[in-house]
Amino acid sequence: MEIIGYMAAILIGLSLGLIGGGGSILTVPVLVYLFGLETEQATLYSLMVVGTTSLTGVIGAYKRGQLDVKMSLMYAAVSVLIVVITRRLLLPLIPMELFTLGGFAVTKSIATMLLLAVLMLLAAISMIRKKQGAIETPASTHQHKGINIQLVMNAALIGFITGLLGAGGGFLLIPALVFVQHLPMKKAVGTSLLIITLNSLIGFLADAPGHTLDWTLLLGITAMAILGILLGGRLGRKISSAPLQKGFGWFVLVMGCYIIFLELVK
C-alpha cells in the first residue's frame, strides 16, 4: 500500500504542475487510507506536503512573471492567522465523539473525512464545469484593489479549510483572484500557490511542536509530490490543461463519493 501511496503522492504534485490545483485535496485521503495515519495527524502532514510542493510551483511562477506578491501577502495576512487559530485553538476543542445518529457514532475523524469528501465533490464539479475559454481568458483590463471585506472573508474561509482539513483550497482561491481581484488566470494560479504555501507551511510550523512526526515518511511523500509537480510543469508546456482538468475532476468526484461510502459503512 505504501508503494501505491508514493505513486499517489506523485499524482498530487503532477496535478498541481499540470492544472494549477486540485491535487492537494487528495493528500489527506492518501495519508489516511494508504499510509494508515490518524486523520488529525494526516491533516498536519498534509500541510507540510502541500506547502512544500506549492513552494516549488511558486518558484517557477516567479521566474515566469506569473506571481502577484502583494496580493498573496494581503490574503495571507488574514488566512495564515485563521490557519494557526484553527490548528492550535479550535481543533483541540472538538471532542473525539461528536454525536450519535441512529446508533451510528459520528467521531471527529469521520466528520473530518466527510467534510473533506464534500470539499472534494465541490472541487471536482468546479474542475469538470470549467470551460476551455475560462482557462485561456486573456488578462482583465481591471486592476485589483486593496484589502476589502470580500477579500477578508475569502481569505478567512481558505484559512479555515486549510487549518481544519489540510487542503490548500486552490479551487476556491483561483476564481476569487480572477473574478473578484481581476488577476489574469496564469497569474492567479501562481498567486494562489504562494498563498497556499504561506498558509500550509506556517500552519505546519505552528502546530508541529505538539506532535511526534515520522520525518522519514513525511519527507519521502513530500519528495514524491515535488517530483510530480516538476514533471507536471514540464508536461504542461506541451499539452493542453483543459481535458486533463476535466478528467482529473471526474477522478476526484469518484474519490469523494468513495470516501463518503467508506466512512459511512465502516
- Rounded to two decimals, the pTM is 0.86
Give pLDDT tens digits for 9-44: 998 888 777 766 667 788 999 999 999 999 999 999
Residues β-bridged to residue 172? none
CA atoms within 13 A on the CB side of 177: 32
Sign of CA dihedral 86, 55, 153, 136: negative
User: Which three cell numbers, joined as nine digits, stand for 50?
Assistant: 502541500
- As a whole number of angstroms, the distance between CA 148 and CA 36 comes to 42
Task: State how far the alpha carbon of 151 is from the alpha carbons of 101, 140, 187, 194, 243, in Å.
Answer: 37, 18, 17, 16, 30
Specify the range with the lowest mean pLDDT, choosing from 125-139, 166-180, 247-261. 125-139
pLDDT of 74 higher than 50: yes
Give pLDDT tens digits for 57-69: 888 888 888 899 9
Under 8 Å between Cβ of 48 and 222: yes
